[in-house]
Structure 1
Amino acid sequence: MLIHPWDAARADGEWQQWLAGHDFGQLAVNGLPGEPPHVQPLHFVHEPDQGPHGRILTHLARPNPVWPALEADPEVLLSVVDDYVYVPGPWQAPPDIPAEHGVPTSFYAAVQLRCTARIVDDPAEKADVLNRQVDHFQPEGGSARAAAGEAPYGRMLSGIRALILDVTDVRAKFKYASHKPAEVQERIAAGLAERQGPRDEAARAHQVRRRQD
């Protein structure tokens, strides 16, 4: 992922705060020789206090074809992208050229976590990973706890494998025209506010916030 200086996270707190509101991404795993990479969409939990950059907890079904590749190479990448919008060319046009000559672009926020994966097959440890995920996604409770050898989920644990991903490096990008002249940025912000598309409000908030930082 190309990251220009003006798109880089201003500090670790910027990407950490953004990632705290996201728990779905794509896990990229190196393929076996002669095979393409595996890309697995999944829910995850980021535990920021576990290690320098935190760790990721998740699980997948045992028949998933990703396991042989993970066993061969545990170095993986978890990619999370959101708050993306299309920016029309006229919004981006510099003040000294016709609006129709402006160049369209994409805005987005992206965090890529490079990780070392550890496969978990111990039933008690798998149950702990599952319970931590449920605690995150269902803080209101309402579900039984997973426990090895105990109903209702104990017998199901053999059908999954858990993953603990220790984060070793982070690359974060907030592409919101931070390098553009104020006049252009104001025009883009106004366009996003007027268009009111599905992610326009979030993208505009990033743009305004980064102008003020």
Structure 2
Amino acid sequence: MRRKEFEQHEQRAIEVLLDSAGHGFLAFVRPNLTPGAIAVNFVRLDSTIYFHGSPQGEKMEALAANPEVAFMVAEAMSLIPSYFSASDLACPASQFFRSVVVRGRARIVEDPAEKAIALQALMEKLQPEGGYLPISQTSTRYRKQLRATAVVAIPMDDVTAKFKLGQNLPRSRRASIARQLTERDAPGDSETAAAMAKARPFI
């Protein structure tokens, strides 16, 4: 990563961002060698990303031809307006954010037990209140659905995380931005100010 000041190495912070994201973006190469990307619901289990879908379609055709993929999750934090700075120029305006990119070789999950575990974990993430029959490979109610659903695993072997929270700014400027975020108190501002306080300043 070129901007080393924004690079995040803390494993727990990366996992929290992945686990809190409702969806991510899968980038792949189509069989005609043009790029493709699609939004998918997903779940992280240990060091593996899982998502599901139809066994047919562009996504699965692309993965069959070339399993090398990239998967990204991004969370927009506060927009920092230019007037938070003493400058009257537009240049200081910035968008704070946190992002994680996983690069790896996608694997089509064939084992019914692994498929059931991944799909159950996805349901627990998306519908934590329950209200459904748990997914199990031994359940006759889900036997047909497990066969008809494709599940894909991406190992988290190559992970890059970028948390842009003003680490490149002088401490006085960071303190000023955090104070103005607290005063503005727009949705997400308090969370951004708290994240800034935890981020290690680069200068």
TM-score by length of structure 1 reads 0.81
Amino acid at match of 1:174: F
* Sequence identity (%): 27
In the alignment, is the contact (CA less than 8 A) between 1:83 and 1:203 conserved in 2?
Answer: no
Give the letter aligned to residue 141 of structure 1.
G
Detail structure 1 runs of 4+ shifted over 6 Å in the superposition. Answer: none
Aligned amino acid, residue 68 of structure 1: E
- Structure 2 portions without partners, runs of 5+: none
The answer on whether the counterparts of 1:27 and 1:77 sit within 8 Å (CA) in structure 2 is yes
Does the aligned pair in 2 maintain the 1:55–1:164 contact within 8 Å?
Answer: yes
Aligned ranges 1:1-213 → 2 under 5 Å:
3-35=2-34, 37-48=35-46, 54-93=47-86, 99-101=87-89, 102-148=91-137, 150-211=139-200
Relative to 1, partners in 2 of residues 1:196 and 1:71: Cα closer, same or farther, differing over 3 Å? same
Deviations 1:19-77, CA, capped at 9 Å, x for gaps:
34335211111222243x221212211122xxxxx111221123332011101111111
Q: Which amino acid aligns with 2:103?
A: R
Cα deviation code 1:132-186 (max 9, x no counterpart): 3223444443321334585433222343200111112111111111121222112
Residues 43 and 118, structure 2, Cα contact 8 Å, conserved in 1: no
From the superposition, tell whether residues 38 and 61 of structure 1 become closer, same or farther in structure 2 (CA, over 3 Å).
same
2:54–2:149: 8 Å Cα contact kept in structure 1? Answer: yes
Identify the range of structure 1 (134-143 vs 182-191) with the bigger mean alpha-carbon deviation. 134-143
Asked whether the equivalents of residues 110 and 173 of structure 1 are also in contact (C-alpha less than 8 Å), the reply is yes
SS in 2 for 1:39: strand
Q: Distance in 1 between matches of 2:199 and 2:33?
A: 43
The two structures have a TM-score, normalised by structure 2, of 0.84
- Letter of the structure 1 residue corresponding to residue 53 of structure 2: L
Q: Taking structure 1 as reference, are residues 126 and 11 closer, same or farther at Cα in structure 2, changes over 3 Å only?
A: closer
Aligned residues between the structures: 201
Q: Please identify, of 170-179 and 196-205, the stretch whose mean Cα deviation from structure 2 is larger.
A: 196-205
User: Is the 2:76–2:95 Cα contact (8 Å) retained in structure 1?
Assistant: no
Contact 2:19 2:43 in 1 (8 A): no
The residue identity in structure 1 corresponding to 2:106 is A
* Cα distance change on mapping 1:130 and 1:16 into 2, 3 Å: closer
Quote how far apart the aligned CAs of 1:115 are: 2.1
User: What CA distance in whole angstroms lies between the structure 2 residues aligned with 1:58 and 1:10?
Assistant: 24
Which deviates further from its counterpart, 10-19 or 173-182? 10-19
Q: 1:47 to 1:128 in 2, by over 3 A?
A: closer
Query: How big is the shift at 1:122?
Result: 4.6
Contact 2:137 2:143 in 1 (8 A): yes
Q: Distance in 2 between matches of 1:145 and 1:20?
A: 20
